[in-house]
Amino acid sequence: ASTLKDAVAQVIPEKQEQLKALKAKHNNSSLGEVKLENLLGGMRGLKCMLWEGSVLDSERGIAFHGRSIPDCEKELPTAKDLGLKGKEMLPESMLWLLLTGKVPSVDEVRGLSAELAEKGKLPNYVEKIIDSFPKTLHPMTQFSAAVAALNHDSAFSAAYNKGIKKSEYWSPTYDDVITLIAKIPAIAARIYYNVFGKGDGKQAIDPSNDLIGNYANMIGYGDHEGMTDYLRLYIAIHGDHEGGNVSAHTLHLVGSALSDPFLSYSAGLAGLAGPLHGLANQEVLGFCLGLQKAVGENASDEKVKEHLWSTLNSGRVVPGYGHAVLRSTDPRFLALSRFCDTRPELQKDSLVQLVQQLARVAPGVLTEHGKTKNPNPNVDSASGCVLYSYGMTEFKYYTVVFGISRALALTQLVWDRAYGMGIERPKSFSVDALQKMLK
Ligand code: FCX
């Protein structure tokens, strides 16, 4: 078994050569035109980012180095493979795949889990910073601030200040990314303890446990196999969703200024905290609980349809449905549904039943309504409801769980440095300037 860093060092030269050849041949080739609608529409559809780990296809959904979620579920080492309680793939396995494009062996994942456990303890000054936050400060603000403070010990900053060569940037960047991913569970758990009083506040790490097994333990779910396994699946499949989404794009943009991974990720988390991005799962939960309140538990399809129409007729959207890029059912939703189907305790849960009922009923209503380009469920229609059903009822914390997952997108920073990507600096125009150009 090799270490992840060795495996990354092995693939980098070959990918660098591939990019070099592409550049030599095609540097002036066009990837498409830029229309005013792209500029005004949040840069939708513009082909202007390099992203190594995953590609989002509008019909097939996300693929990680060409592997779909069901492929990953079949091929990536699971908790069971490592002799742990549970069956789901481990985020460590996904981390390895994202960084190398290769499926790791069980021993390689075991080694990575052990390395993360070894690096997982928070420095005392960060604990003190988190403890000083008022309980009323949003958990995402606490998360972003605590992650930024970790840059005190950034390997990249230290190496840069010593004058490291550009060709070596990727190595201390990798070290920071691993340190950050290792410490994220303790940060998230300490925030959970301080704000909601759950867990024992100690963030103890068992070196023989996986990253999420340790996290579940820290937040008081160590003996809850269902929740621990759900978190593994959730965190593995939410990690990377190509580069253009706000959190991923932000960490890449900030990293392009050679800000270290801690600062880059702190900025990405600030983007994830926005209601149009990371907060949707929280909104679905509010919608489902409101629906249950309005029409009762186990309501008929007719009653649910009526509620959907009244939501739409009052000008609101049905949260958890539609997508900016996807045009079919989100495979992440299908993976979470599959998880619910295999868990008798969730099959009995009225909220989970409602999520499944909505997935049957809402697409027809949304199609008849005729506005959305995609009437099918996205991942958010299920993700928060399962957390709730398993007893994590603190809505304000849900985006933090998403944030732990999105740390896997930090893998792109390693590739950005390995490829020598430049500082981002797109061209901008005023309305007057556009008017002149387009007349
Ligand atoms: N319910 C009702 N109307 C909807 C809808 C929904 N779920 N989804 C889209 N529409 C409407 C839009 O509001 C828009 O109406 P308008 O012409 O009056 O402005 C029209 O359909 C066309 O929108 P469309 O092109 O299909 O979708 P967009 O790319 O503009 O927006 C989001 C995509 C995801 C923002 C949109 O589908 C939505 O608001 N969904 C509900 C919220 C949600 O689930 N967000 C999470 C998305 C996702 F999983 C993620 O990125 O995390």
Q: Is residue 291 part of a domain?
A: yes
Q: What ipTM was assigned to the predicted interfaces of this complex?
A: 0.98
pLDDT at 310: 95
Residues 6+ apart with CB under 8 A from 368: none
Please state the domain count of the chain.
1
CATH at residue 377:
1.10.230.10
* Residue pLDDT, tens place only, 370-412: 999 999 999 999 999 999 999 999 989 999 999 999 999 999 9
**Pocket lining for ligand 1, CB < 6 angstroms:** 280, 312, 317-324, 366, 371-374, 378-380
pLDDT at 1: 64
72: nearest Cα among 60, 83, 62, 59: 62
Pocket test for ligand 1, best of 317, 325, 333 (most atoms within 8 A of CB): 317
pTM of the model: 0.95
378: nearest Cα among 65, 42, 58: 58
Q: Is residue 410 part of a domain?
A: no
* Residue pLDDT, tens place only, 221-271: 999 999 999 999 999 999 999 999 999 999 999 999 999 999 999 999 999
What is the atom index within ligand 1 of the atom nearest the CA of 241?
A: 51
**Contact between 202 and 185 (Cβ < 8 Å):** no
Q: Is residue 377 part of a domain?
A: yes
Retrieve residue 288's tokens. 């489902």
* Residue pLDDT, tens place only, 72-121: 999 999 999 999 999 999 999 999 999 999 999 999 999 999 999 999 99
Nearest residue by C-alpha to atom 32 in ligand 1: 323
What is the atom index within ligand 1 of the atom nearest the CA of 321?
A: 7
pLDDT of 349 above 70:
yes
125, with CB counted inside 10 A (0-12, 13-18, 19+), is exposed
Residue positions annotated with a catalytic role: 277, 323, 380
What's the distance, Cα to Cα, between the start and end of the chain in Å? Answer: 62
Measured in Å, residue 317 CA sits from the centre of ligand 1 at 7
Report the pLDDT averaged over residues 46-65.
96
* Residue pLDDT, tens place only, 24-39: 999 999 999 999 999 9
Nearest residue by C-alpha to atom 36 in ligand 1: 322
Measured in Å, residue 262 CA sits from the centre of ligand 1 at 32
Tokens 């995402």 belong to residue: 140
Nearest residue by C-alpha to atom 49 in ligand 1: 378
Q: Is residue 177 part of a domain?
A: no
pLDDT of 335 above 80:
yes
Retrieve residue 193's tokens. 């303890």
Measured in Å, residue 96 CA sits from the centre of ligand 1 at 33
What is the atom index within ligand 1 of the atom nearest the CA of 371?
A: 21
Q: Is residue 370 part of a domain?
A: yes
Residue 297 burial (CB count, 10 A): 11
Phi-psi group of 171: left, alpha or beta (phi > 0 → left; psi -120 to 50 → alpha; rest → beta): alpha
Nearest residue by C-alpha to atom 2 in ligand 1: 317
* Residue pLDDT, tens place only, 160-211: 999 999 999 999 999 999 999 999 999 999 999 999 999 999 999 999 999 9
- The range of the structural domain enclosing residue 366 comes to 280-389
**Contact between 147 and 265 (Cβ < 8 Å):** yes
Q: Is residue 315 part of a domain?
A: yes
* Residue pLDDT, tens place only, 155-174: 999 999 999 999 999 999 99
pLDDT at 282: 83
214 φ, ψ to 5°? Answer: -65, -40
pLDDT at 270: 97
Q: Is residue 412 part of a domain?
A: no
